[in-house]
Chains A and B, each alone.
Chain A
Amino acid sequence: QSGLTQPPSVSGAPGQRVTISCTGSSSNLGPNFRVHWYQQFPGSAPRLLIYDSDSRPSGVPDRFSASKSGTSASLAITGLQAEDEASYYCQSYDSSLGFSMVFGGGTRLTVL
């Protein structure tokens, strides 16, 4: 059971903005914790999309942004494109589990 909760699926039309939520608790998304986001296409390894709650690695388009507030975080994708159709995972660490790495259950994004 994951301590981070994501919606199983979201969808949007090309050009639209979609957001994916990640809800946790003080033990994993509290003030001392960062949240990271990954994108995964079927049959491929995940790719880091956002780190430290709101920073993009080089090569990630600025259409992807993220934020964290309290014990929740969200990933936003603007100007939705067909190529964004993938699964997205949030990740943090959980102090109640000995600072184990924890992932959200994943959100499948469908571009209509």
Chain B
Amino acid sequence: QVHLQESGPGLAEPSETLSLTCTVSGASVSSDRYYWAWIRQAPGKGLEWIGSVHSRGGPKYNPSLKSRVIMSQRASSNQFSLKLTSVTAADTAVYYCARAGLTAVGGLPPHYYYAVDVWGQGTTVTVSS
């Protein structure tokens, strides 16, 4: 059974850098079968993709956040992480780490074939002074 767990501070001050880590069990972040994503949800709002990482190729970021996002993965600890710089109150949200790893297409299709099949429980981040 695959399990994802977010960790990081629940409070960030405006203009600071938010750092979150996702620890994965039951699957390897090094597998070329999966993409690992961060998705957030502001209070009362819908889901917003932040970015994804993969064992091969560079990270992919939401164009609207790209200038402020850095994602990486650490095979040795089976984790992947998110850094979001210059945060504002608009970044207050529940942050989910997730795996995009399900498709009916065989082989290793492009990332845009994959559904998000495993979600972490989410961690609430509030940006406030």
Residues of A within 8 A of B113 (CB): 34, 52
Residues of A within 8 A of B122 (CB): 45
Residues of A within 8 A of B37 (CB): 101
**Partner-binding segment picked from A18-26, A69-77, A91-99:** A91-99
- CB-contact partner of A98 in B63, B96, B105, under 8 A: B63
Nearest A residue to B97 via CB reads: A45
Contact indicator B117/A51 (Cβ below 8 Å): yes
Q: In the complex, which range does the number of interface residues on chain B fall in?
A: 20 to 34
In the complex where A34-B103, A57-B102 touch, is A104 in contact with B46 (Cβ < 8 A)? Answer: yes
Residues of A within 8 A of B79 (CB): none
Interface assignment of B33: CB less than 8 Å from any CB of chain A: no
Question: In the assembly, what is the distance between CA of A101 and CA of B48, in Å?
Answer: 9
Nearest B residue to A89 via CB reads: B47
Question: In the assembly, what is the distance between CA of A76 and CA of B117, in Å?
Answer: 20
| Residues of A bordering B, CB below 8 Å | 2, 33-34, 36, 38, 45-48, 51-52, 55, 57, 89, 91-93, 95, 97-106
| Residues of B bordering A, CB below 8 Å | 37, 39, 46-49, 52, 60, 62-63, 96, 100, 102-105, 110-113, 115-117, 119-122
